[in-house]
Every structure is written in C-alpha cells, then in structure tokens.
A and B are shown apart, each in its own frame.
Chain A
Amino acid sequence: DVKVTQSSRYLVKRTGEKVFLECVQDMDHENMFWYRQDPGLGLRLIYFSYDVKMKEKGDIPEGYSVSREKKERFSLILESASTNQTSMYLCASSPNGQGVTDTQYFGPGTRLTVL
C-alpha cells in the first residue's frame, strides 16, 4: 500500500513564526504536491515537485516555499506565518508515466491554525 505521511495532524502557530510542514512517501514516487483546502474553495495547488531539487509553482505559491532534498520527502515552508494561512494542508504523491498507476495518493492532512 502507498503510504503518505505528514508530520503533524494539528498545528498551532503564531503570526510571524516560521513553519515547516513535512511530507514523506514510501513508494518511490517522482511527483509530490502540496495543496491547501479551504471551505468552498476545494483543493488549491501551492507547489509541486517532479524530481529531487526540482519545484514548480502551483496556483497559490505566494507566502510559501518548498524543499525537496530527498525523493521521499517534500517540505512546505511558511517563512512568516499569517492568519490567512490558517487552513488544511494536504500532501500528495504520484508516480511518473501515464499508466494506471499514476493516480495521486494523499496524506492525512495537517490542520494549521495561525493565531
């Protein structure tokens, strides 16, 4: 079974703090993604990575950065957290190629509250 894990289920931080959200997958997937989910807005892509040290901006990258130093780990960084970054953050991974195995697999999510 594909396993995508996220470092925390719930996180509370203060405005201005630097926040790290970690995601690890154990299926040797090339692609990894960070989304945020807000009521009524669905999933919005923040950043994605298709290889180690490679990253691409998604739809809403402002206020975020990412790091992918190892294939299995994709970190989302909030340099200076703000209250409008309070949200549910979802990590996903998928293999390369266009076969039947290229489905995204999601982690359990991290609910971040910025006070």
Chain B
Amino acid sequence: AQKVTQAQTEISVVEKEDVTLDCVYETRDTTYYLFWYKQPPSGELVFLIRRNSFDEQNEISGRYSWNFQKSTSSFNFTITASQVVDSAVYFCALRPASGGSYIPTFGRGTSLIVHP
C-alpha cells in the first residue's frame, strides 16, 4: 500500500519569505514517480514537477526547488522569496513505475497563504 503524508495543513507567510512544504511517502515499490501539483483558487490542479525514484538529483526551477531524499522517503518543495501569487493548495503525489498501475496516491494537500 502507498501513502503520502503532508503534515502541514496550512502555512502562512509574509511575502518574500522562503517556505518549505513537506512531503513524506511510503511505498513498497522499488521504482516510482513523485509529483507536485499546485491548485490555485481557480480550482484547476497544475502540474509542477515529476521525479523518478532512481534520480535523486535536486531540481531548481526559478524560485521553486525540490529536495528528494530516498533515505528519508521525502520529497520536499521550497519556494524562495514567496509571492502572493504562490498562494494555493499544494499536493504531493506518488505513483508506481511498474506493475501496470496508473493510479497515483495524493497527499491531503498543504494550503499556503502568502500575505503582502
């Protein structure tokens, strides 16, 4: 069975602060994919990143960075110099890479509020 835990239900920061959203997962699969999605107030989930389990290289995209650590089963997401437009619910998800299952398991989401 798979499980994704986003322990932070809601985070509130002031603009320009750095913020890290935690994601911890459990799986018995040896290969898997990890995802982050952003859901702004408009409601549509927007894909942010996909990471393979065999690629532990961290990734940076502008103000966004992701820290994947297989040893601690974590895939944390950091926003540097947060902006009001970053306010959204962020979901972490896990999906097996083999076995024919296309069903990801989502965490419950972290609501990020960035105050001006």
Q: Which residues of A contact B (CB under 8 A)?
A: 9, 31, 33, 40-43, 45, 48, 50, 58, 88, 90, 92, 94, 96, 98, 100, 102-109, 111
Residues on the B chain within 8 Å of A108, using CB: 42-44
Q: Footprint of A on B, CB under 8 Å?
A: 9, 33, 35, 37, 42-47, 50, 91, 97-98, 102-104, 106-109
Shortest beta-carbon contacts, A-B, top 3 = A42-B108, A106-B45, A109-B43
Q: Which residues of A contact B47 (CB under 8 A)?
A: 103-105
Contacts of A45 in B (CB 8 A): 103
Q: A96-B102, A105-B47 are in contact. List 13 more A-B contacts (CB 8 A).
A: A41-B108, A42-B91, A45-B103, A50-B102, A98-B98, A102-B33, A103-B35, A103-B50, A104-B47, A104-B104, A106-B37, A108-B43, A111-B43
Nearest B-chain residue to A96, judged by Cβ:
B102
Question: CB within 8 A of B106: which of A43, A96, A102, A109?
Answer: A43
State how many angstroms separate the Cβ of A82 from the closest Cβ of chain B. 23
B44 nearest in chain A by CB position = A108
Separation in Å of the B107 CB from the closest CB of chain A? 6
**Set B50, B104, B107: member contacting A100, Cβ < 8 A:** B50
Indicate if the CB atoms of B50 and A42 lie closer than 8 Å. Answer: no
A40–B50 CA distance with the chains assembled, in angstroms: 24
Given A48-B103, A98-B98, A103-B35; A42-B109 close (CB under 8 Å): yes
A107 cross-chain contacts in B, Cβ below 8 A: 44
Q: Which of A9, A33, A43, A102 has the most CB of B within 10 A?
A: A43
Q: Are B44 and A106 in contact (CB under 8 A)?
A: yes
Contact A40 B9 (CB under 8 A): yes
Shortest distance from the beta carbon of B24 to any chain A beta carbon, whole Å: 14
Bound state CA distance, A48 and B43, in angstroms?
Answer: 20
Residue of A nearest to B111 (CB): A39
B102 contacts A31, C-beta separation under 8 Å:
yes
The smallest C-beta distance from A97 to any residue of chain B, in angstroms, reads: 9
